[in-house]
Chain A
Amino acid sequence: MAASAAVRSSMGLTLRLSRVIPVCSTCPLYRLNICGNSAASLQRRGSFDSIRTINRHLQTSIGLYQIEEGSSNAEDPDDYVVNIVYIDRSGQRIPVKAKVGDNVLYLAHKHGIDLEGACEASLACSTCQVYVSDAHFDKLPEPVEREDDMLDMAPMLQENSRLGCQIILTPELDGMELTLPKVTRNFYVDGHVPKPH
C-alpha cells in the first residue's frame, strides 16, 4: 500500500519534472563522477531503493529547475517526511517540513530563506555555506574533494561547515538544524585577511 503510493508519487514527480530532465553528459556532478545516480554510486548506495535514488537524482540536478510547489502533495507517506530547521542570518528559526531527497539549497529557496547559490550547485563557489547541527553533522556523507576545496574559500569556516547544495535529506537527518553564517558588520574591521582570488 505504502509502496504503491510511493511509486505513484514518485512517478508523478518524475512526470512533472520530466520536461527538465538534465543531460548527464553536461552535468558537472556526472563529469566529476560524484553524481548520486551514476552506475558506480548506485552500487555503493545499496541501502536506498531505486525510487528514492531517482527522486534524489531529479532533485540534485544542476540549476535547471527548482522544486515545484506541486511536488509536496498531501498523499506523501510519513516515512518520506524530514523535518529540519533553518536558522537564518538574524537568528530566526524557520522549521521546514521537507522530504527525503530534497536538496538543502533549493529547499531554502522554496521557503524564502536567503541562502545564496551563486554557482547553482556546481561546486564552484561557497555562497551556500551552512553550519550543520552537531548531532547530524556526522550523519552526512563525507564531502567530495571538490566540496572541501570550495569550503576552504568560505568566509567564517567552521568545523561543522558544509555546502548546502551538497546536502540531500535522508530520514536520519530529521531534526537537523542548519544555521546560515552571520555576516558580522565588523567582518572587515576584525583583522580581515585578504582572500586570494
Chain B
Amino acid sequence: MSCSVPHRLCCSSVIISVYSAGVIVRGSGKAFFASCNPKICVVGSGPAGFYTAQHLIKVCRLHVVSFSAFSSFQARQDAEVDIYERLPVPFGLVRFGVAPDHPEVKNVINTFTQTAKQSRCSFYGNVNVGKDVSIEELQQAYHAVVLSYGAEGNRTMGVPGEQLAGVYSAQNFVGWYNGLPSCQELNPDLSCETAVILGQGNVALDIARILLSPVDILKKTDITQPTLEALERSQIRNVLIIGRRGPLQIACTIKELREMVNLPDTRPEMVAADFNGVAEALKDVPRPRKRLTELMLKTALDTPGEKEQERRNKASRSWGFRFFRSPVEVLGDPDSMRVVGIRLAVNRLEVDGARAVLTGEVEDVKCGLVISSIGYKSVPIDPSVPFDSRKAIVPNNMGRVQHVSGLYCSGWLKTGPTGVIATTMNNSFDTARSLVEDIDSGTLDVSISKPGSQSISALLEKRGVKPVSFSDWEKIDNAEMKKGEASGKPREKLLSVEEMLRVVQT
C-alpha cells in the first residue's frame, strides 16, 4: 500500500533503507518499529486543523535514532494526515471570519495550501463528521483523530427581546458578509440610524468598521455582493460599541482600534467620564495594554489638532465606545416585532476591574440594529466525545482528550474561542507535539496497520456522500477569482454549497 518502508520491516527481520542517508542497515535482536505509516485524521480545516497537520507531516519523518548490527533501533514513520471538513471549501475562519478588508491576514492560506498539497496530506471536504461519519468510525480507521472544528455556536445575551427582528449574533453577521452559506438568508435591515454592538473585542470592531467604511473601499475586497448592495442602501450613521466593564478591560487590540480612529468620514464620540482614573492606572500595566489604552485616551480626551478637528466636523458618521453597560432587555415595536431600542443596566467595577456589578440604574438607547458580539462557543460533535458544557471545550490535557485514547484536540475547541492566528498556531503545534510524543513512547500504538481513508471513503460512498478533494477546491477557487475579476475584486465568493458542488462537477 503506502508504506514508505519495504514490507519486510513488518516481519522480524530488520532490513530497512534510510532514504535520506542512502544507507542500508541490517540488524537483528530487539527492535522497536512502527510497521506502517501512522494514519492521522484531523476534523476541521481551519488554522487549527492545518497547523496541526503541518506539524505532524513535518515531524513524522523517517528517522533512525540509533542502530548497529545487534542493538535496537527506532524508526518513526511518515505520518499520513487526512483533513475532513464539513463545507466543500477549506480554511474555516480564515475564509469566513477574517474581515474582507484584512486580506494580508489571509495570506496564511498559502501556507495551508502548501501543506494540503503534500503527498502525505489529503483534504476531504463536504463531509459532515458526526452525521456522515461518526467519531468512532474515524477512530477505527485511523491511529489518531484530532478534533479541530472550532466554535460554531455563540454565547447568547439571555435577555428578553433577543429574538426580535433586527437582533443578530456577531457570528451570523460576520458569516453573512463573509459568504458563509448558512448565513446567507440573514438579510439584515440597515435602514436605521443607530446600530448597537454588545462586546468590545476585535470581532465587534470588525463589524463596526464594515458598517461604517465607505463602500468604495469595501467594493475592492472579497465582501459578498449582497452585502455590498445592503451597505449601499444603509442608513446607519452611528455605531455604539458597548462593554460591561471599563476601558482597561477592553478586549480588542490596538490595530483594530487604530483602524476605527482613522476610518474615513467618521468621527469618534466617547464619554469622557468613562475614562476617570484610567490614565493613573497605566503606570504598571504591560506594554500592549498600555499602548492600547493610551490610544483610547488620546482619541477620547485629547483636543484634536486643527486638521483632525476639521476632518471630524465634516464626517457624516460616528462611532464610540460605551462602558459599564450590560444589556437587560431588547425593546421592540409590538406591531412590527422589530427592535427599536435596548435597555442597558449601569455597572460599576469591583475587585480591581475583574467584576462588573449592577448599580440598579438603567438607561434606554434608541437603535434599529443590535449585534451581540460576546463570544463564540464550541458545540459537541458526537456523544462519544467528552464535552465540558460549562467551558464549552473538549476536556483535555495538552491536547490529549481526557479518558479517550487516540483522541486529541487543537485550536479553539481545546482552549476556548479566543486568540489570533498566531495563538492557534502555537496551540496546534502543541497538540501535534503531544501526539508525536505518544507515538514515540508507545502510548499511541501505531504498530497495527489501519485502513485510514480507504475504509472511510468506502463508507461515505455507501452513504451517498461525495467528498471534495483539494484539487476540486482549486476549481472553486479559480471560479471565484475569475468571477471577481469582472468587478475588480480578489474573488466573488460562491454563496451556497450547491453552487460550489456544481463547479466541482463540471
Question: A interface vs B, CB < 8 Å?
Answer: 28, 63, 114, 116-120, 122-127, 145-146, 148-150, 152-155, 157, 183, 185, 187-188, 192, 194-197
Contact of A152 with B425 at beta-carbon distance under 8 Å, contacts A118-B111, A196-B253 already known: no
Q: B421: which of A118, A146, A185, A188 is its contact (CB, 8 Å)?
A: A118
- Helix, strand, loop or mixed for chain B's interface? helix
Asked if B417 is at the interface of the complex by the 8 Å CB criterion, the answer is yes
Against A, the Cβ 8 Å flags (1 = close, 0 = not) of B286-325 are 0110011000000000000000000000000000000000
Asked if B26 is at the interface of the complex by the 8 Å CB criterion, the answer is no
A154 contacts which chain B residues (CB < 8 A)?
422
Closest to B437 in A: A185
CA distance A111 to B378 in the complex (A): 39
Give chain A nearest CB distance to B52 CB in angstroms. 14
Contact B107 A122 (CB under 8 A): yes
Contact B253 A152 (CB under 8 A): yes
Question: B interface vs A, CB < 8 Å?
Answer: 58, 102, 104-105, 107-108, 110-111, 201-203, 251-255, 258, 287-288, 291-292, 398, 415-423, 425-427, 429-430, 433
Q: Which 6 A-B pairs have the closest CB atoms?
A: A152-B288, A122-B104, A124-B104, A118-B108, A194-B418, A120-B107
Closest to B108 in A: A118
Contact A149 B258 (CB under 8 A): yes
Give chain B nearest CB distance to A125 CB in angstroms. 6
Contact A124 B102 (CB under 8 A): yes
Give chain B nearest CB distance to A105 CB in angstroms. 12
Closest to B203 in A: A197
Q: B287: which of A63, A116, A157, A183 is its contact (CB, 8 Å)?
A: A157
- Helix, strand, loop or mixed for chain A's interface? loop
Contact of A195 with B418 at beta-carbon distance under 8 Å, contacts A155-B423, A183-B429 already known: yes
Contact A150 B255 (CB under 8 A): yes
Contact A197 B417 (CB under 8 A): yes
A187 contacts which chain B residues (CB < 8 A)?
426, 430
Contact A195 B420 (CB under 8 A): yes
Contact A197 B430 (CB under 8 A): no
Q: A197: which of B418, B426, B427 is its contact (CB, 8 Å)?
A: B418
Give chain B nearest CB distance to A17 CB in angstroms. 19
Closest to A183 in B: B426
Q: A196: which of B111, B251, B258, B429 is its contact (CB, 8 Å)?
A: B251
CA distance A154 to B287 in the complex (A): 11
Q: A155: which of B252, B287, B426 is its contact (CB, 8 Å)?
A: B426
Give chain A nearest CB distance to B484 CB in angstroms. 15
Contact A185 B105 (CB under 8 A): no
Contact A123 B422 (CB under 8 A): no
Contact A157 B288 (CB under 8 A): yes
Contact of A116 with B291 at beta-carbon distance under 8 Å, contacts A124-B102, A194-B419 already known: no
A157 contacts which chain B residues (CB < 8 A)?
287-288
CA distance A4 to B419 in the complex (A): 51
A28 contacts which chain B residues (CB < 8 A)?
104
B420 contacts which chain A residues (CB < 8 A)?
125-126, 153, 195-197
Q: A118: which of B287, B292, B422 is its contact (CB, 8 Å)?
A: B422
Contact A196 B107 (CB under 8 A): no
Most chain B CB within 10 A, of A119, A145, A150, A187, is at A119
A183 contacts which chain B residues (CB < 8 A)?
426, 429-430
Contact of A148 with B291 at beta-carbon distance under 8 Å, contacts A118-B108, A153-B253, A185-B430 already known: yes
Contact B253 A149 (CB under 8 A): yes
Give chain B nearest CB distance to A121 CB in angstroms. 9
